[in-house]
């Protein structure tokens, strides 16, 4: 069973949570997509960094795939004032800092509005947001973060999650971008308390 876990991390240092969507992966870019750890992932991997608080925010299990979204506060023992809050994803561990989480939440809402205005994606198609498209050459494209698409096969829709720069994806039939956006907003509210 594949178990993606997304840690939501907020920092007093200004690092938070990020989710990223990719719509058209065929575009050329001057940077390597997902080639670097996100700022939060790099922080989490440093010596002396520990988890001071965590809380499971959401758990989805469908067709042998599990998503566990965890809000996490990380602290550097050598710099107690430096804390990171965000979300973590296991199997392919993805850390999202505050600006990235907000960018992702906003992009998920953008996808929801596009679907409401234009209808569901056609069979075999996906809807995404500009924040997730590597063709724009966003500064965050180089980080291993979360990409999200809202897709449709011949019968059903699914929220499709994948770690940028990593193979494989996690499909959640019947889940909408609105639901994930609300989960991210809830996680960020919880993190503000820590």
pLDDT of 18-32, one tens digit each? 222 222 222 333 457
Domain count, the chain: 1
Tell me how far the alpha carbon of residue 165 is from its chain's centroid: 13
Q: Which helix (H) or strand (E) holds 59?
A: strand 49-62
Whole-number Cα distances in Å, 80 to 15, 40, 48, 52, 126:
15, 16, 10, 11, 43
Output phi, psi for 146, to 5 deg.
Answer: -95, 130
pLDDT of 139-157, one tens digit each? 888 888 888 999 998 889 9
Domain assignment of residue 78, given as a range: 5-192
pLDDT of 43-94, one tens digit each? 888 888 888 888 888 888 887 787 888 888 888 877 766 555 555 544 567 7
pLDDT for 13? 30
Output phi, psi for 113, to 5 deg.
Answer: -65, -40
């Amino acid at each position: 069973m594949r178990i993606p876990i997304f840690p939501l991390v907020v920092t007093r240092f200004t690092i938070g949570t990020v989710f990223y969507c990719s719509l058209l992966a065929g575009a050329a870019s001057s940077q390597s997509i997902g080639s670097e750890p996100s700022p939060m992932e790099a922080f989490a991997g440093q010596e002396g960094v520990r988890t001071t608080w965590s809380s499971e925010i959401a758990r989805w299990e469908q067709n042998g795939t599990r998503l566990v979204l965890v809000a996490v506060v990380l602290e550097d023992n050598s710099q107690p004032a430096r804390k990171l809050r965000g979300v973590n994803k296991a199997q392919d561990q993805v850390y999202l800092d505050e600006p990235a989480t907000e960018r992702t939440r906003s992009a998920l809402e953008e996808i929801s509005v596009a679907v409401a205005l234009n209808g569901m994606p056609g069979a075999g198609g996906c809807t995404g947001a500009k924040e997730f498209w590597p063709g724009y050459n966003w500064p965050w494209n180089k980080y291993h973060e979360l990409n999200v698409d809202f897709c449709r096969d011949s019968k059903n829709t699914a929220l499709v999650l994948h770690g940028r720069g990593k193979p494989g994806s996690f499909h959640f039939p019947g889940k909408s971008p609105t639901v994930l956006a609300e989960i991210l907003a809830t996680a960020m509210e919880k993190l503000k308390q820590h």
